[in-house]
C-alpha cells in the first residue's frame, strides 16, 4: 500500500478545512438574509376512517377542520385520507384547493392529497408516481397497501401592495422574472418490516427531485419541499438517503426542517430556503386527538438573491 507523504497530508487537511470554512461561511450568509417570501407548510397523517379506531372519523372530522383553520398553513401534505375524508375537508376549507388521487387510481384507496391556498398560489403542474419498480403505472407495487407520491409545481401569485402600481402593463408578454416557483412532493412510506422498500422509495424520490435542481447560475432556483409520513426515524437508511446522519452540507441532499430530525413525520427541503419556525402541533380537545399523528408545521422563507 502506498502512503501519503507529509506534504500531501498537510495539503489535504488544508483543502478540506478550506472547503469546510467556505460551506460554513455560505450557511452564515444564508442565515443572515431576511428578505424573501414566507411559506407555511404542514404535513399531516389524517388517520383513515378506520371503524376500529377511536374516536371515529365522525368525531374527529370537525376537529381537523378547526385545527387547520387555527394554524392556517399555506400548503398541507396529507396522508391516509380516503375519498370521503378528503371531500369532507375540501367542502369545509373553502380557502383551499385540493389535488391528488387514490393510490390505486382515481378515488380508490388512500390519497396523498395536497391542499393549497387558492389566493396565494397558482398550480402550474402536477402529477403522481408509485413507489414501485414501475413508478409510472398507477396502483403498482404490492397488492395490499401500495404507496405513491403526489407532487406539484406552484407559483406565488404576485400582488402589489396597497398604493403601489402594477409592475407590468396588462398586455405584458415577456418572461416575468419575479414569479417565484417551488415544488411540493408528498408521500407515505411502507410500514413495518419493509426497510428495503423504504430505502428504494427514498432513492426513487431523490432521483425525481434531483432532476429538478437548477442547472446553472443562469437558471432560477425552485425550492423543493418533501412532506410525508416516512414510517422510519432519523438514522434509518431512508433518512440517510435524503439527509444523511449529520444533516451534511452535501448540495445534492435535502435538509431537515428540524436539525437532527424527529419522529417519523418530516418536512425536508432543498434550495435557498431558511427555516423560521418548527412546531410539532399538539392540538386536542379535552385530551381527544383528531388523529394518531401530530401535524408538523414549519414556516419557511424562500430567500431573495
Q: Which residue has the cell 423504504?
A: 198
CA distances for 129 relative to 23, 76, 85, 147, 201, angstroms: 34, 19, 22, 9, 11
pLDDT tens-place string over residues 179-205: 899 999 999 999 999 999 999 999 999
Mean pLDDT of the chain: 89
Query: What average pLDDT does this structure show over 10-38?
Result: 56
Counting residues of the chain whose pLDDT is more than 90, the rounded percentage is 77
Query: What average pLDDT does this structure show over 166-186?
Result: 79
Supply the pLDDT for residue 9.
45
Nearest to 67 by CA among 294, 300, 301: 294
- Domains in the chain: boundaries: 36-156+179-303
Q: Assess whether pLDDT exceeds 80 at residue 14.
A: no
Q: Assess whether pLDDT exceeds 80 at residue 11.
A: no
| 23-32, 121-130, 274-283: least confidently modelled range | 23-32
Strands (E), the chain: 36-45, 75-79, 96-99, 114-117, 121-130, 148-156, 181-188, 224-229, 255-256, 265-270, 273-280, 296-303
SS3 239: helix
Confidence of residue 22 (pLDDT cuts 50, 70, 90): very low
Q: Assess whether pLDDT exceeds 90 at residue 174.
A: no
Query: What average pLDDT does this structure show over 98-112?
Result: 97
Q: Against a cut of 0.85, is the pTM above it?
A: yes
Q: Assess whether pLDDT exceeds 90 at residue 45.
A: yes
Nearest to 283 by CA among 272, 291, 273, 274: 291
Confidence of residue 95 (pLDDT cuts 50, 70, 90): very high
CATH no., domain 36-156+179-303: 3.60.10.10
Amino acid at each position: 500500500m502506498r502512503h501519503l507523504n507529509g506534504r500531501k497530508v498537510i495539503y489535504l487537511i488544508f483543502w478540506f478545512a478550506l472547503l469546510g470554512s467556505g460551506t460554513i461561511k455560505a450557511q452564515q450568509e444564508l442565515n443572515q438574509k431576511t428578505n424573501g417570501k414566507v411559506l407555511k407548510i404542514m404535513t399531516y397523517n389524517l388517520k383513515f376512517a378506520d371503524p376500529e379506531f377511536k374516536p371515529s372519523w365522525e368525531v374527529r372530522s370537525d376537529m381537523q377542520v378547526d385545527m387547520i383553520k387555527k394554524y392556517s398553513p399555506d400548503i398541507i401534505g396529507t396522508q391516509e385520507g380516503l375519498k370521503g375524508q378528503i371531500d369532507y375537508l375540501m367542502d369545509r376549507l373553502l380557502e383551499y384547493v385540493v389535488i391528488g388521487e387514490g393510490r390505486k387510481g382515481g378515488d380508490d384507496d388512500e390519497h396523498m392529497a395536497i391542499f393549497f391556498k387558492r389566493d396565494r398560489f397558482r398550480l402550474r403542474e402536477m402529477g403522481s408516481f408509485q413507489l414501485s419498480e414501475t413508478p409510472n403505472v398507477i396502483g403498482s407495487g404490492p397488492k395490499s397497501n401500495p404507496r405513491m407520491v403526489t407532487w406539484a409545481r406552484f407559483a406565488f401569485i404576485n400582488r402589489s401592495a396597497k398604493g403601489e402600481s402594477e409592475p407590468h402593463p396588462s398586455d405584458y408578454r415577456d418572461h416575468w422574472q419575479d414569479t417565484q416557483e417551488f415544488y411540493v412532493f408528498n408521500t407515505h412510506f411502507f410500514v413495518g418490516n419493509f426497510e428495503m422498500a423504504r430505502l428504494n422509495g427514498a432513492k426513487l424520490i431523490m432521483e425525481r427531485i434531483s432532476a429538478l435542481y437548477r442547472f446553472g447560475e443562469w437558471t432560477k432556483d425552485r425550492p423543493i419541499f418533501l412532506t410525508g409520513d416516512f414510517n422510519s426515524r432519523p438514522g434509518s437508511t431512508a433518512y440517510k438517503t435524503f439527509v444523511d446522519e449529520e444533516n451534511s452540507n452535501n448540495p445534492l441532499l435535502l435538509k431537515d426542517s428540524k436539525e437532527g430530525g424527529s419522529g417519523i413525520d418530516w418536512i425536508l427541503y432543498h434550495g435557498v430556503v431558511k427555516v423560521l419556525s418548527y412546531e410539532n402541533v399538539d392540538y386536542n380537545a379535552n385530551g381527544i386527538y383528531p388523529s394518531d399523528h401530530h401535524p408538523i408545521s414549519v414556516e419557511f422563507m424562500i430567500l431573495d438573491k
